[in-house]
Amino acid sequence: MSEKHQFHLYTLLRGVVHFMAWLPLLWMILGWVQNDLGADPIRAIMLRTGKTALIFLWFSLSCTPLFLLFGWTWVRPLRREFGLYSFFYASLHVLNFLWLDYGWDTTIIFEDMFQKPYALFGAASFFILLPMAITSWKWAFSALGPFRWKRLHQFGYLAAILAAAHYILLVKQAYAQPVLFIAVLILLFVVRFFLQKRNGRGAHHV
């Protein structure tokens, strides 16, 4: 494929990603308005925003390994879109927790935050994604310089590990789904680690 084609493919895919990324939110709003989120709508929003954020984070982390495996240059830049949408849904998830679920009741929020590892892991993951989202624009890349920028964004893996821990700590003995997420994460990491070594470190941005 020529570079021009690759570029067109990227533009097209980016459009598709932007379109698809709003569907979970739209579905959720429709569900709320039509009173179709089940008996516990706040929990439904919690689960859906959390799961969507997780899926987008995993998509984001798979862009580089896919590029390394198959040489698809058009897939790699999509990590930014996926990452930003992950942060967007993570923000809704946090907002739902603080506002709809706990009504900004700081006493019980902090009780949960500091007593329960699930809340700490979730919060830590969010606070790693936050600076990544802020620095996902060109000006930040220039301001930070490629080395520091890259360092910061390598923390995406840590955010994913923390998010997976957050998830697995909240399921009641039904581990199939979180285990699947963790397996994919390990696979992505292995692919990236070995292929990058093979291609020579520093030849590509991480």
Partner 1 sequence: MYKSIPIKPSEITPKSLYLSRRDFIKSAGVLAGSMVLAACASGVDEIQPVEPASTEEAAPDDLTSYKDITTYNNYYEFSLEKTEVATLAKDFTTSPWTVEVYGLVNKPQTFGMEDILKLFPQEERIYRMRCVEAWSMVIPWNGFPLASLLNIVEPTSSAKFVRFETVYRPEEMKAINSLNEYPFPYQEGLRLDEAMNELTLLATGLYGETMLPQNGAPIRLVVPWKYGFKSIKSIVKIELIAEQPATLWNTVSPREYGFYANVNPKVQHPRWSQVTERRIGEMKRRKTLMFNGYAEQVAHLYEGMDLTVDI
Interface region with partner 1, contact rule CB under 8 A, candidates 75-83, 106-114, 124-132, 186-194? 106-114
Binds partner 1 by CB under 8 A, chosen from 4, 38, 198, 201: 38
Nearer to partner 1, 115 or 199 (CB): 115
Cα gap 132→130, rounded to integer Å:
5
- Which pair of structure tokens corresponds to residue 125? 């993951």
Binding-site size for partner 1 (CB under 8 A) equals 34
For residue 53 the two structure tokens come to 């954020």
157 interacts with partner 1 by CB under 8 A: no
Residue placing its CB nearer to partner 1 in the complex, 88 or 149: 88
Does 111 bind partner 1 (CB under 8 A)? Our answer is yes
92 contacts 49 by C-beta, under 8 angstroms:
yes
Sign, CA dihedral 171-85-31-102, equals: positive
Residue 81 DSSP code: H
Nearest to 61 by CA among 13, 132, 121: 132
At 198, the amino acid letter reads R
Counting contacts by CB under 8 A, is residue 173 touching partner 1? yes
Q: For residue 195, what are its two tokens?
A: 């292929």
Count CA atoms within 13 Å of residue 115 on its CB side: 6
- If one asks whether residue 137 binds partner 1 (CB under 8 A), the answer comes out as no
Indicate whether 130 belongs to the interface with partner 1 (CB under 8 A).
no
Report the chain's C-alpha Rg in angstroms: 18
Q: Is 80 in the site for partner 1 (CB under 8 A)?
A: no
Choices 70-78, 96-104, 142-150, 194-202 (CB under 8 A): range interacting with partner 1: 96-104
**CB nearer to partner 1: pick between 118 and 157:** 118
Tell me if 102 contacts partner 1 by CB under 8 A.
yes
- Closest approach, Cβ 42 to partner 1, in A, equals 7
Residue 182 interacting with partner 1 (CB under 8 A): no
Characterise 173 by phi-psi region: left (phi > 0), alpha (psi -120 to 50), beta (else): left
Q: How many residues does the chain have?
A: 206
Q: State both tokens at 166.
A: 């957050």
CB of 183 to partner 1, least distance (A): 18
Footprint of partner 1 (CB under 8 A): 25, 28-29, 32-33, 35, 38-43, 91-92, 95, 99-105, 108, 111-112, 115-118, 169-170, 172-174
